[in-house]
Structure 1
């Protein structure tokens, strides 16, 4: 059930980035410690423009893995119920397991974010700039154009190149 007054308060009080930060903060699995990730990101806001925490997104998705991740997320959200700490019943938390960070394509920023991936003991860390061969040519061009033009907005005089780092 949705509590509209609570939703209104949350919507007026928090940005989408803060809401995703709260989702990351809640998650702990394998070696992933969401509280540590958010603490590090909060202390280094100069390194990133935004981040998104979700199930993996696969561009060449022949097996429907991206759609399967969406289904997993929808099911977890449908079945979530707040439970006390002492309850023996625990519902599935938000099932995200992939962190996407948008940053400027500057060697120092990218290398420091890669170092954070090592600190967080991420299973893999990848940098995507829109030229990855896995993407169809049209998608490559659109992604690169969106990353280059979208990071600082269209009204900015200085061109800015961007990359997405995936953990």
Structure 2
């Protein structure tokens, strides 16, 4: 059941980025510590423009793996029930294991984000600028974008740094 009053309050109080930060914050598994990741991201806001925490996105997705991740997420959300930490019953929390960070294509920013991947003990850290042949020309064009949101004339190259935890 959806509490529309609560949803309205949350929607008026928080940005989509803050909502994703909350999902990351509550997630802990294997080497991943969401609270530490969000604490670091809040300290280094100059390194990134946005981030998304989800299941892996594969390109091309010939085997439907990305869709399988969507199904996993939908099932977890359908079956989630808030439980006390002391409860013996636990439901699957938001089942993300991959963090995507959008940043300007600057060596200093990218190298610091790569270093954070080591600190966060990610199993894999990759950087893409959309030039990989598996990605479309459209993606490369999208990554040459306005990251400041205001200056239409100011385009910059961007990259996505992808962190994955097993």
More helix by share: 1
**For residues 166 and 110 of structure 1, what CA distance do their matches in structure 2 show?**
11
Q: Partner residue of 1:67?
A: 67
Q: Tell me if structure 2 keeps the 8 A contact 1:152–1:160.
A: no
Q: Partner residue of 1:128?
A: 128
Equivalence map 1:20-39=2 (5 Å): 20-39=20-39
Q: Partner residue of 2:145?
A: 149
Cα displacement (A) at 1:36 = 0.3
Does the residue aligned with 1:116 lie in a helix, a strand or coil?
Answer: helix
Gaps of 5+ in 1: none
**For residues 45 and 22 of structure 1, what CA distance do their matches in structure 2 show?**
16
Does the residue aligned with 2:74 lie in a helix, a strand or coil?
Answer: helix
Cα displacement (A) at 1:150 = 4.0
**Cα RMSD for the two superposed structures:** 1.2
Q: Residues 154, 45 of structure 1: CA spacing in aligned structure 2 closer, same or farther, 3 A cutoff?
A: closer
Equivalence map 1:1-167=2 (5 Å): 1-135=1-135, 139=136, 141-153=137-149, 155-167=151-163
TM-score normalised by length of structure 1: 0.94
Cα displacement (A) at 1:128 = 0.7
Aligned residues: 163
Q: Tell me if structure 2 keeps the 8 A contact 1:100–1:164.
A: yes
**Relative to structure 2, which stretch is displaced further, 112-121 or 149-158?**
149-158
Gaps of 5+ in 2: none
**For residues 44 and 84 of structure 1, what CA distance do their matches in structure 2 show?**
32
More strand by share: 2
Q: Tell me if structure 1 keeps the 8 A contact 2:50–2:101.
A: yes
